[in-house]
Amino acid sequence: MALATRLVFFVFLLTGCSTVRELDSDMASHVKELERGLTLPAGASDISSYTRYYARTDAGMLSGVLVLGGDMGIHLVTLDKLPVVFDGGCSVIRIEYEYEARRVLSVSCSGLA
């Protein structure tokens, strides 16, 4: 099984994907704005190739985890449902966005095990 396929399967096991969607129109508008201006790291695929998970933190941040493959949709989740993956290179991308200031603080590929 390819690394990206194994990672997506692992993420689905962790998040319980059938229950990760929740509606939040304010958060959705921030995600759309974020993605419009986002530049992914060198080595990353096009953003439409990723399943994107976003969660608002208590510190006024938006945390994102993009996982290559899957349903390639956008999932607005609670922080405890954000996928946790420690390797995978650019098949897993982490994003930190300052919610109120509307600015990207970091975008990075995951490490490699």
As a whole number of angstroms, the distance between CA 22 and CA 55 comes to 10
Q: 58-113: per-residue pLDDT in tens?
A: 888 999 999 999 999 999 999 999 999 888 999 999 999 998 899 999 999 998 76
pLDDT of residue 22: 45
Q: Which two tokens stand for residue 43?
A: 């080595």
Q: 39-52: per-residue pLDDT in tens?
A: 999 999 999 999 99
Q: Residue 43: count other Cβ atoms within 10 Å of its Cβ.
A: 10
What is the band of 24 on the pLDDT scale with cuts at 50, 70, 90?
confident
pLDDT of residue 35: 94
Token pair 């922080």 is found at: 79
As a whole number of angstroms, the distance between CA 11 and CA 16 comes to 8
pLDDT of residue 113: 66
Check pLDDT > 80 for residue 2. no
- Read off the pTM: 0.77
Q: Could you give the residue ranges of the DSSP H alpha helices within 1-113?
A: 3-15, 25-36
